[in-house]
Structure 1
Amino acid sequence: GPSAMVQLGKHAFGLSTSAQVFSSGNRIPYEMPLFGYYGMDESSLQNINYIDYDIDASAAAWMNAGLSYAYVAYERFDQKITVGATIKYVWSYAGIYMESSNANYIVLNDSTINIKNLNGSAGYALPVDYADSDQIVDEPLFKGRGFGFDLGVVYVKKKTVDSERWNRLCSQEFDDYVYRIGVSILDLGSMNYKNNAELHDYENVAVYWQNYDTTSFTNIDQLTSDLSNLFYGDPNASYAGNKIIIGLPTAVSVKADYNIYKNFYAAGYWIHPIRFNSHTLRRPSQIAIVPRYESKYFEVNLPISVYEYKYPRVGLSARFWFFTIGTERLGTWLGISNLNGLDIYASIKFGFGKGDCRIRFKSACNDDNSLNKKKKRNNFNKNIVF
């Protein structure tokens, strides 16, 4: 945030801001973190022909400002369908990705690697001087820009039906619901980097690399030129351009919410990533059910989720009037699960009560039975099907 939203009858308008640091990896081979932890001199990892495919890793830091619009496209009795969209302008401070469609290699010993075949690329736009990593490059501050879009539709089965139209913003009442179901596409778009950006390609390269353990680099330019010279015999041959593109973490989302009884609800959602290429950030998949108790001044949620379709998690959040605090990993905080991640979040949200207009002046036409009272709405028999 900060963010704000206002509803005007069938129309709703919103303004939102956010900042994110996001990283993702896909099909990271099991041996790579082991080499990182034990080192290349680990004998159990040597003299094995590793053949890895479709590896990628990406990271980016950005902020965005978005405009949202939603419209009640259909409303009949106690049923309503709303469609909406958000367009976001994105400013990215930094971005980097690495990808390899094929890596075939053997670590022979602690000083020799036989790279039989490698196809891959690396792109980056970072706030550093590539010739001197100690120097910060902050002109321009944002190395990339782009657009993002959210699109969605929501079906609502309401508890009540409006008996009359509202002619003042404050007199619009909250439409309580029996259930609602929504489908959306999130973060459809990309970030284009044209400032301090470099792209390097390594196509069908191979090398028998001896004494690699004595190789050291003091800056990024030295690293890329030495690798290019190693694979191609030319320190500039790997350079492929000064522009890169990193896709936003696009995903499809399906959500449902059901009013069990009075203030008790049960929600559920499914989020699955959509990737258009190997340098698109990957949003993790999630399935969750979220029972909750909700009132005007207090709310508690107990999200029970499965992360990436295999890691179960239990969270807890509570809202006290306008302040919310919570975690998606309650077990880690309680010390009853492995410490492989930790999170905590908090938010402040102020809302203006619907259906309650303050009296602007006293008159004979303005008494306890007029403007300062909520307008009644008719309840319909829930057995009627439309």
Structure 2
Amino acid sequence: MSKLLYLMFFCSGFGFGQNNLSFSNDQYSGINSAPLSPTTPYFNPNKWDVSIFSTDILFQNDYAYISDQNIFGLLKGGVKTANPQKGITGESQANVLDFYKHDFVKYNLESDIVGPSFSFRQKIKGQTFRLGIFTRLRTQGSAKDIDYYMRFSNQIVIEPAEYSFQPLKTNFMNWNEFGLNVSTNLYTTNTQELIVGASIKYALALDAAYINSKNPIKLDAVLTSTSTLENPDADIYASNYDIEASYTTNYDFDKDKYVYKNRGNGVGIDLGIALVNRRINDELYDSKIALNLLDIGYVNLKGENHLFKNSTLVQIRNNPRLDDVDFKSIQQYARILSNEVYGDTLASYNGNKFTIGLPTSLNFNLSKKVRPNHYINFNWVQRVPVFENSLKRTNILQTSYSIQKDGFGIGTSLSLYEYEKIGFGGYVRIGPLILGSENALPFVFKQNKLNSGSFYIGLKLYPFWDNEAKRRSREPCDCE
């Protein structure tokens, strides 16, 4: 159990993030924007576009930081771990991995890799449709208000004699996603269009975990004969626990390698609607208001479900039956822990199925042209988990300013994550290459406490050499 608790706390350290919001407002983003707005591919002036790949990585945390450093500076190495007893702290030295002293911590990790994908415009019985297919590899986990019991060992101090570890929920999933995106106009006038879009998605799970601790766990620290201020090494005992834990993974612990297998199946759907105003014969709109409901769905998983609910006092530190074992798999650890709690290695087993909901969210978008090819944009992403054990997307408020042209685009953005953390970034699109970051400052400027950063890269094939005049010249002429 001690290693399980340490794993939960360690996961609060770093996270990964979702699609680049500022680039998703670019009308040339095409199929890359479908995961955040199923209607946006419709506005691409080009008839077709192909995404070879794109990946978005973001990390943030309120658990640990590196003092007086930037991300590029980390490549030089030399990071020390804090040791207050030896005078090594983030407050007094640069390049030190130190830990916050919060009572509670949280994390939300998201990674999105979009693989080969494409979209094209097609008229069917006089109706214009935008059709697209996308593939993704997604990783996401979340927890909020995790009781930060590790703050004592991180600061190398003896834990309290009695402590109440508060209830928590945390989950994680790594999955493939295959989607069909369709968008079309419901009605069109000389100046307005009402666009609807949807993405139907099949989810194939690769790895997943779920932990639900329902009771305040009582933790007792008993000093040993070797416990000192310089070497706090108290025995830790847990009681009053009621923990449900489920997991499945493609990592083969016996062969020490990752084996690709289907660990669960699910479905999801994204829905969107957008009202746009545009001038007659203008490819790019003047203004847009859009509402999207994303990731409505869930995944049924095949794995192991365990229940640890007992009044038995379990030693979770300095227990030779746990500390001296060379654990080779999660299953092995669960069996030994079951024996500690129930005196039976299989008593905790509670079935082989569990469910995790997709990270359902609302995305509200406003976009307004301020001069030719110049747009100011606003995005609001709000999580609205609806299914059992749902993953939770990061809440974001963002405003951006972008210039959108054939073969070139650029934008700057200001974001507010979880309504408390500010990020400054943007993107640049040059021909087929897109580079961006929603939190770029930590890359180049030293941060007093480096604990976040993001990076986005994409490579697309689309007729960026094309332009409005060439497209018009190819349109059929009704003249005599």
Structure 1 residues 375 and 293: alpha-carbon distance in aligned structure 2, compared to 1, 3 A threshold = farther
Deviation at 1:322, TM superposition (A): 2.2
Structure 1 residues 347 and 269: alpha-carbon distance in aligned structure 2, compared to 1, 3 A threshold = same
Between the aligned partners of 1:211 and 1:117, the Cα distance in structure 2 is 14
Structure 1 residues 36 and 177: alpha-carbon distance in aligned structure 2, compared to 1, 3 A threshold = farther
Deviation at 1:343, TM superposition (A): 2.4
Deviation at 1:294, TM superposition (A): 2.0
1:316-327 → structure 2 map (5 Å cutoff):
316-327=426-437
1:268 maps to: 378
- Return the letter of the residue paired with 2:154: Y
Q: Which of 177, 180, 185 lines up with 2:285 in the alignment?
A: 177
Structure 1 residues 184 and 207: alpha-carbon distance in aligned structure 2, compared to 1, 3 A threshold = same
Q: What's the RMSD between the two structures over aligned residues? A: 2.7
Structure 1 residues 133 and 310: alpha-carbon distance in aligned structure 2, compared to 1, 3 A threshold = farther
- Return the letter of the residue paired with 2:242: N
Deviation at 1:250, TM superposition (A): 1.6
Structure 1 residues 90 and 292: alpha-carbon distance in aligned structure 2, compared to 1, 3 A threshold = same
- 1:61 maps to 2:174: yes
Which is bigger in relative contact order (C-alpha 8 A, separation at least 6)?
2
Between the aligned partners of 1:224 and 1:266, the Cα distance in structure 2 is 53
Deviation at 1:105, TM superposition (A): 1.4
Structure 1 stretches lacking a partner, 5+ long: 163-173, 359-369, 377-386
Q: Which of 46, 56, 69 lines up with 2:160 in the alignment?
A: 46
- TM-score normalised over the length of structure 2: 0.65
2:438 maps to: 328
Deviation at 1:37, TM superposition (A): 3.4
- Return the letter of the residue paired with 2:430: F
- Counting matched residue pairs gives 342
Q: Which of 190, 200, 220 lines up with 2:298 in the alignment?
A: 190
2:119 maps to: 5
2:339 maps to: 229
CA contact (8 A) 2:237 2:317 kept: no
Structure 1 residues 14 and 339: alpha-carbon distance in aligned structure 2, compared to 1, 3 A threshold = same
CA contact (8 A) 1:116 1:206 kept: yes
- 1:80-109 Cα offsets, whole Å, 9 max, x none, are 111111111122221112121223212313
CA contact (8 A) 2:147 2:165 kept: no
CA contact (8 A) 2:138 2:175 kept: yes
Between the aligned partners of 1:147 and 1:178, the Cα distance in structure 2 is 35
Between the aligned partners of 1:227 and 1:98, the Cα distance in structure 2 is 15
1:342 maps to: 453
Deviation at 1:212, TM superposition (A): 3.6
Deviation at 1:136, TM superposition (A): 4.5
- 1:271-295 Cα offsets, whole Å, 9 max, x none, are 1112235632211111100111222
CA contact (8 A) 1:289 1:303 kept: yes
Q: Which of 260, 266, 270 lines up with 1:150 in the alignment?
A: 270
Deviation at 1:48, TM superposition (A): 3.8
1:207 maps to: 312
CA contact (8 A) 1:192 1:244 kept: yes
Between the aligned partners of 1:61 and 1:300, the Cα distance in structure 2 is 32
- 1:50-89 Cα offsets, whole Å, 9 max, x none, are 2413x12222222221111112112233121111111111
1:106-185 → structure 2 map (5 Å cutoff):
106-109=219-222, 110-129=233-252, 133=254, 135-136=256-257, 138=259, 141-160=261-280, 175-185=283-293
1:285-364 → structure 2 map (5 Å cutoff):
285-337=395-447, 338-352=449-463, 353=466
1:165 maps to: none
Structure 1 residues 277 and 68: alpha-carbon distance in aligned structure 2, compared to 1, 3 A threshold = closer
Which of 322-331 and 103-112 deviates more? 103-112
2:209 maps to: 96
Structure 1 residues 200 and 373: alpha-carbon distance in aligned structure 2, compared to 1, 3 A threshold = closer
CA contact (8 A) 1:156 1:181 kept: yes
Deviation at 1:300, TM superposition (A): 1.2
Structure 1 residues 150 and 37: alpha-carbon distance in aligned structure 2, compared to 1, 3 A threshold = same
Between the aligned partners of 1:373 and 1:124, the Cα distance in structure 2 is 56
Structure 1 residues 5 and 244: alpha-carbon distance in aligned structure 2, compared to 1, 3 A threshold = same
* 2:333 alignment partner, SS class: helix
- 1:302-328 Cα offsets, whole Å, 9 max, x none, are 110001110000012111122111112
Deviation at 1:375, TM superposition (A): 7.3
- 1:348-369 Cα offsets, whole Å, 9 max, x none, are 22334476668xxxxxxxxxxx
* 2:146 alignment partner, SS class: coil
1:75-94 → structure 2 map (5 Å cutoff):
75-94=188-207
Q: Which has the greater radius of gyration? A: 1
- TM-score normalised over the length of structure 1: 0.80
